[in-house]
Amino acid sequence: MNRGRPAIAIDTQRHARHILLKEIGGPGQQRLSKASVLLVGAGGLGSPAALYLAAAGIGRLRIVDPDTVSLDNLQRQILYRTGDVGAPKAAKAAEALTGLDPAVRVEPVEGRADAGTLPGFLDGMDLVLDGCDDFATRFAVNDAAVKARVPLVSGAVGRWSGQLGVFAPHLGADLPCYRCLVPEIPPGAERCAEVGIVGALTGAIGSLMALEAIKLIARAGTPLLGRLHIQDTLKAEARVVRVAKDPACPVCAGP
């Protein structure tokens, strides 16, 4: 990650609190400034994730979302304002993030992430964050990330509960991909538009997604590789469970 890329001048005043951390410091902040991250979905999860990645000084952030802002998005999609209703999410997200830090190179893509487009979207990326809300897209993102050997930070939310994990089978023989966890679309899978969701939950899980991305890029701490963080905010409970690699996984199992 970031190998062979020239050093970039860091705004030491802007990122002083990161540089003070022994786990990040100057070298870690330099890695963040040279990193390229793909964000699939600029909605409830993507909004806080994008804000914290931009604030962290990520060098390049490519945001893919085919939708426009709607009024019922604003309860949880904190990148947008009432005046943005009807505008493309990717473009408005780029506008907000550039306003936060003009040094971050934001690339808005008003397109759909699928098996055909994802290889191109992943080209040149060090990491991908998936904040979409349907399993078909999650599967496509995972499959493309495995083929491209790019770590995936995947988050999901519903009603009062959320989860996130980091999937990178190329980093270890025993590490799973997302399809090891969810091999098929679950019967009766729910969507937020159908069952509702508390807005602040997306902020919590989206922020944790950004945190895992920062740890991976800066090489700080222990990321959630092969583990799943599960949060029940209604009960104020959280736990972390192991995710086993499926030796018969159609995506990441060896020949």
Q: So where are the chain's domains?
A: 16-242
**Mean pLDDT, to the nearest integer, of 191-219?**
92
Mean pLDDT across 224-251: 96
Tokens of 13: 């005043």
Of 84-93, 101-110, 151-160, 190-199, minimum mean pLDDT range:
190-199
What is the number of other CB atoms lying within 10 angstroms of the CB of residue 151? Answer: 25
Q: Which amino acid is at 119?
A: P
Which fold is adopted by the domain 16-242?
Answer: Rossmann fold (3.40.50)
**Could you report the per-residue pLDDT of 35-70, keeping only the tens digit for each?**
999 999 999 999 999 999 999 999 999 999 999 999
Per-residue pLDDT band at 125 (split at 50, 70, 90): very high
Q: With 90 as the cut, is the pLDDT of residue 194 above it?
A: no
In the beta sheet, which residues pair with residue 231? 162, 238
Structure tokens, 90: 């990717």
**Average pLDDT, stretch 91-108?**
97
Contacting residues for 6 by C-beta, under 8 A, at least 6 apart: none
Tell me what pLDDT residue 4 has: 60
- Given a cut of 60, is residue 3 above it in pLDDT? no
């991908």: which residue's tokens? Answer: 128
- Answer yes or no: is pLDDT of 221 > 70: yes
Q: What mean pLDDT value characterizes the chain?
A: 94
Residue 2 makes CB contacts below 8 A (sequence gap 6+) with: 31, 34, 35, 126, 217
Whole-structure pTM value: 0.94
Question: Stretch 126-132: mean pLDDT, rounded?
Answer: 97
Work out the pLDDT band at 8, boundaries 50, 70, 90: confident
> What are φ and ψ of residue 205, in 5° steps?
-70, -40
Can you read off the two tokens belonging to residue 248? 């018969």
Provide the percentage of residues in the chain whose pLDDT is more than 70. Answer: 95
